[in-house]
Structure 1
C-alpha cells in the first residue's frame, strides 16, 4: 500500500514481463479457475446460511451433503490447478528473464565490466528475477481474486443487511490509512535491502574467487571483518523489515477483532429484534473473513510489489545497456596487410589520458615488440587492437580500411591472444583447448596443437589424458601448463595476428624455455605483437617500439635503439646486470 508505485513503474514492469512472452492461454485458464474458486467460495456462506435457518434432521439429506462436499472439492481442485499454472508461468518468466540477462551480459562491452562488480550482476540475475517470480506466482492472483471476493462479499452483505455492511465499510478505510505509511516505509527498506544484498554478493564473489590470495596474504581477518560488516548491514535491514511486519500483523488483527466484535454485538441485537436470522449472522461472519483475508494479502502484495518495482528497474537498466554488435560490418578478407595506428588517443576517463597521438605501423608477418615502463599504455594498445574499447581519437587501419568497418566476430577470429596468465575455465583440457571454436575439431587437430605447444608432454601423463578435469580456473595445473594450454588454444584457432602479453614473465626457467619453444611454433608466419617485460625475449624482433607515458618515443631494432634511445639503453643495461646477477647466483 504505497503511493510509490507510479504509472510509469507499472508500465515498465508489465513491458518487462510481456517481453518474456508468458503463455496467455495458461494465464487465462489460471485466471478463470481462480475466479471460479472465488465464486464457489462466495456461494458457500449462502449455503451455510440456508442450512442453519432451515436446519432439521428431516431436511438435511444426502443431497445437501453431496452439494456441500462438491463445493469444497471444486474449490480445492480449481485453486490447485490455478496455482500450478501460475507457477508454471512464473517459472517461465524468470527463466526467460535470466536468459535475456545472461545474453546481455555476454554481449556487453568490456567497459561495462570496468564500472560494475561481478557479484552485483550475479545478484541481479538470481535474486532480482526471483523477486519478480514471487510476485507473479504468489501474489498477483491473490490480488485480483481478492478484489472479486471483496466486491462479491460486499454485494451479498448489502443485500442481507445494508446497515451492518455500512458499519464494516467505515472501519476498512481507517485500516488503510494506518497501513499506508507502513507501505511507503517498506518500499525504502526493500530497496535498500536489495542494494545491500547485491553488494554483499559482490563481496562474496570477489573474496572467494581470490581465496588463495587471501590465505597467502594472511588476510582472513580483514576479509572476515568486511563480510561481518556486510552481514551486519543485512541484519539491520532485516530488523527494519521485521519492525514493519511487527506493526502490520497486530494492526490487521486489531481490525479483524474490531469488525468481529461489532458484527457479533450489533448482529446479535438485530437477531434478537428479529431483523436478522441466525443464518444471516453466520453468513456475515464468514463473509467478513472473505473480505479481511484478501485485505491482509493485499498488504503482502504491495510489499512484494515494491520489491518487484525496484528489481525490475535494475533489470531494465542492464537490458537497456548498449551491447557489442558482433555481426555489423563486412567480413575480413585480406588480413595479410599492415596494421597502422594513426594519431591514436585513448582515455578510460576524460581527465586521465593513457595514449597520446600514437602513430606506428606493424607490418604483416613480422614481430613487433612494445616495451616501456609500467603504465605507459602497452596493455591498452592491445585492448584497442582487440576492439575492447574504441579510440577516443584517431583510428586503427588494416591496410587502407579502418578495423571498425569489419564485423567484431570476423576481426577477433583473426587474433590469437596469450596473456601472462592464460585464463583456464573449469572443465577438461580438451574443452579448454577448443574453447570458443564454432567449427568441429578432430582429435588429431587437438593433439597436433598440443604437441606444437609442448603440452602433450604433461597431458599424456594424466590417466584421463585430454579429458582430465582442470578444476576451477585451472587450479590443478601449474603456471607453465596453463600457458601451454593457452598456446594450444591459440594454435588450433590458426590466427593470423598474435598478441603476446609476455607469456613467460611469471614462469620458472625450465617452464620458460618450454613455453618459448611453443611460442616460436605459434609465431611462425604470423603478424605478432609482443608486450615485452624482458628485453631478452624481444632482441630478435623485427621492430621494437618504446612507449613512455602514452607516447611513442622510439622505434627501431634492438641495435638501433641501443644507440639512439637513452631510456631503452638504460633498460637494457639494467636487465643485463640483473641477468648477470642471476647467472652468478645460479653458478
Structure 2
C-alpha cells in the first residue's frame, strides 16, 4: 500500500514538473546560479585554514607551492597571507552574490510562470466543465484551488527544487572537501545518514496527510466568505450576522487547528533532527582532538568549520519534504479537476441559420445518480414563430426541460429536434448560437451596460444595435438616464440596478442575439406591472418569426400562447390554448382561478381585458 502511494506521489510530481518544461532555459540559468552559490560554501570554510596559519606566520606566501604561478604570474605566487586572505574573502563573496542572484531571480520567474500557467489551465478548464460538476462542487472550494492550492503546488515544483539543488550541492561540495581533507573522520559522519533518511520518510507521510486537510479547510473558509458576500442582503435582512460570524469563526478555527498541527509536527521534527546531527558533530570533535596527528591548527579549524556548515543544509533538505508534500496534496486536487471530462460534444453538424422548428418526442430525463424521472414521456411541437408556454407547480420539470434544449444536461431517452435534427447532433457552440435564454436569475458582470448587453459572441455588435435591443426591451429610457449612459458600470451582478432593470438588460442581451429559438424561464417575474406591460409588448414584436418557449407562473403573461402545456410531476397533464384549457375546466382552470382568488393578477387582468 505504501509502495503504491509512493508511486502515485512520484507520478503526480513528475506530472507537475512537466509544467516546468517550457521554462527549462530559465530553470537551467537558475540551477547554474545555485551551483555557483553551493561551491562558495567550502571555499569560505577552507579560507579559515589560511587565516589561522596566517596568525602565526602572516608573511607566508599563499601560492608558493604552485610552480605554474611562479612561472606565469610571479606577483600572485608571492602574495602574502596578510593580503591574500581578505582579497579572497571579497572575491568569494562576489562570486556567491552572483550565484545567489541568478539562482533566486530566475527560479522566481519560473515559479510565477508556473502559478500563472496552472491558474489559467484551471480557469479555462472550469469554463469547459459540464453543469453537473458545478452542481456537485461548491464555489468556495473551486476558488480556493485557483488561489491557494496553486501557490502550494509551485512550492513543490520550484522552491523545493531550489532547496534540493542549492543545499544538496552545498552538502556534496562540503563532503568532497572533508573527504579530501580527512577521509577517515568523514566516513564516521556518514553513519548518521540512514537515521536522517528514516526520520524524513516518516515525517513526510504526516506532512502530506495534514496538508490535504489544511487545503480542504481553506476551501471551507473561502466558501463561507463567498456565500456571505454574495448573500449579504439576505444576511442583513434576516439578522444572520451572528450566524455567519459563527460559521466563519468555526471554519477559520478549524483551519487554524490544522495549520498548528502541521507546525507542531515540524517543530518536533526539526530539533530532533538537529540533535542527531549535533551528536554526530560532538563525536567528530572528540575524534579530531584524539586523532589530530601532525595536522596544523589551520587544518583542524577548517575541518571543524566545514563540518559545522553541514547541519544547516541537511536540515533544510529534510524540511523540503513538507513543502513537497503540501504541493503534492494541492497538485492532486488540481489534477483531479483538470482530469474531469469536459462537457461532452459529439455533435458535428453546423448550420448557419435555422428556422426554429422545435419538436420534442417521448422525452424522459432523470438527473445523474437519481432514479426518479424529472421528465416523463414529454412530446410537443413548436412551429417557427409559435409561442409555447409551460405552466405548472414548482418542481414539475419546466426549467429542466428548458435546460435540456441548449444541452446543459444530456438526455438518454427520447429526442429534442430543432429543424428536424437532434440537438445532440449539433456542435455545442453552434446549437447555443441559435438559442437565446433569459432566466429568472439574471447574471450581469461588473462591466458597462453596453458590454453586458453585447456579451460573448455579441461583443462586436455596434452601439446602434445595442441601443435598438435596449429600446425593444424597454431598457433604453433608464440606461440613458444613467451618469455615463451605456458606459455606466452596473456593479457586481448588477447590484446598482433594480430587479426589473437587470431583467430588462438580460432581455436586451437575448434580443441582440437575434436567435431563432427564444427561451424565457420566468423572464418577467422580477418586473413591476408597468415594466411587464412594456416587455409583453416588446416580446409580442420580438416573438414574430421566432420559436418561443415561455415558462411562467403568472398566467396572464402567456394567454396569447399558441400552445400551453400544463405540467405536473414531470408529465404533461393538459395541453391547448388559453381558451381551450379554461373550457376544459381542469388543472389549468383551477390554477387560473386560484391566481385570481389570491388577487395577485387583478390589475394586469383588468388592463388586459381593457
**8 A contact 1:263–1:284 mirrored in 2:** no
Is this contact kept in 1: 2:346–2:425, CA < 8 A?
no
Of 408, 412, 415, 1:392 maps to 412
Number of the residue aligned with 2:32: 32
Q: Name 1:123's counterpart in structure 2.
A: 144
Match of 2:556 among 523, 536, 561: 536
Corresponding position of 2:570? 550
- Distance, in Å, in 2 between the alignment partners of 1:169 and 1:492 is 76
SS of structure 2 residue aligned to 1:283: helix
What is the Cα-based RMSD across aligned positions, in Å?
2.4
Quote how far apart the aligned CAs of 1:374 are: 1.1
**Residue 458 of structure 1: CA displacement?**
0.8
3-state DSSP of counterpart to 1:540: coil
Structure 1 residue 292: deviation in Å? 1.6
Kindly indicate whether residue 325 of structure 2 is the aligned counterpart of residue 306 of structure 1: yes
Compare 171-180 and 95-104 and name the one that shifted more: 171-180
Kept in 2, the 8 Å contact 1:554–1:565? The answer is no
- Which of 181, 184, 188 is 2:205 aligned to? 184
Residues 453 and 581 from structure 1, CA distance in 2 versus in 1: closer, same or farther, beyond 3 angstroms? Answer: closer
After superposing the two structures, state which structure 1 stretch, 548-557 or 130-139, moved more.
130-139
Task: Tell me, in whole angstroms, the C-alpha distance in 2 between the residues paired with 1:20 and 1:98.
Answer: 14
Mean CA deviation greater in 290-299 or 531-540: 290-299
Q: Cα gap change, 1:54/1:63 in structure 2, threshold over 3 Å: closer, same or farther? A: closer
Alignment length (residue pairs): 584
User: How many angstroms apart in 2 are the aligned matches of 1:125 and 1:505?
Assistant: 35
Q: Distance in 2 between matches of 1:359 and 1:400?
A: 14
Alpha-carbon distance change, 499 to 293 in structure 1, aligned in 2, over 3 angstroms = same
Question: 1:249 — aligned with what?
Answer: 270
Distance change >3 Å, CA 540–CA 497, structure 1 → 2: same
For residue 19 of structure 1, report the CA deviation from its aligned partner. 4.2
Matching of residue 441 in structure 1 with residue 461 in structure 2: yes
CA distance in 2, matches of 1:216, 1:580: 24
1:92 aligns with 2:122: no
Select between 474-483 and 249-258 the one with higher mean Cα deviation: 249-258
The Cα shift of 1:337 comes to 4.5
What are structure 2's unaligned runs of at least 5 residues? Answer: 61-80
Maintained 8 Å contact 1:34/1:145 = yes
Q: Which residue of 2 aligns with 1:501?
A: 521
Please give the secondary structure, in 1, of the residue aligned with 2:598. helix
Query: Structure 1 residues 16, 395: CA separation in 2 closer, same or farther (over 3 Å shift)?
Result: farther
Find the aligned partners of 1:94 and 1:198 in 2 and give their Cα distance. 18
Query: Residue in 1 aligned with 2:487?
Result: 467
> What is the deviation of 1:381?
0.3
* SS class of match (1:23): helix
Q: How far does the alpha carbon of each residue in 1:112-133 deviate from its partner, in whole angstroms, 9 at most, with x for none?
A: 1011111111111111110122
Contact 1:546/1:568 (CA < 8 Å) preserved in 2? yes
Find the counterpart in structure 2 of residue 78 from structure 1. 99
Label 1:222 to 1:191 Cα distance change in 2 as closer, same or farther (>3 A).
same
Q: C-alpha deviations, 1:116-172, integer Å up to 9, x for none?
A: 111111111111110122233422121133333323322332332233223322334
Aligned to 2:58: 57
How far did 1:328 drift? 5.1
Report if the CA contact (8 A) 2:144-2:219 is conserved. Answer: yes
Match of 2:74 in 1: none
Q: Distance in 2 between matches of 1:249 and 1:13?
A: 24
SS where residue 6 of structure 1 aligns? helix
User: Residue by residue, what CA displacement relative to the aligned partner does 1:553-577 show, whole Å, maximum 9, x if unpaired?
Assistant: 2221112222336111111111232
1:317 Cα deviation after fit: 0.8
Contact persistence 1:332–1:410 (CA under 8 A): yes
Native 8 Å contact 2:567 2:573 kept in 1: yes
Among 328, 352, 359, which residue is 2:372 paired with?
352
CA contact (8 A) 1:83 1:137 kept: no
Match of 2:284 among 248, 253, 263: 263
Deviation at 1:93, TM superposition (A): 1.1
More displaced 10-residue stretch of structure 1: 566-575 or 4-13:
4-13
Maintained 8 Å contact 2:156/2:325: no
The answer (yes or no) to whether the contact 2:448–2:488 under 8 Å persists in 1 is yes
1:174 and 2:195 aligned: yes
The answer to which of 342-351 and 160-169 deviates more is 160-169
- Picking from 550, 569, 577, the partner of 2:597 is 577
Q: Which moved more, 1:122-131 or 1:165-174?
A: 165-174
- TM-score normalized with structure 1 length: 0.94
Given that residues 355 and 377 in structure 1 are in contact (C-alpha distance below 8 angstroms), is that contact kept between their aligned partners in structure 2?
Answer: yes
Cα separation, 1, equivalents of 2:349 and 2:601: 53
Q: What are the within-5 Å matches in structure 2 for residues 309-348 of structure 1?
A: 309-324=328-343, 329-348=348-367
Q: Counterpart of 1:329 in 2: which secondary structure?
A: coil
Query: Is the Cα–Cα contact under 8 Å of residues 388 and 548 in structure 2 kept in the other structure?
Result: yes
The answer for the alignment partner of 2:511 in structure 1 is 491
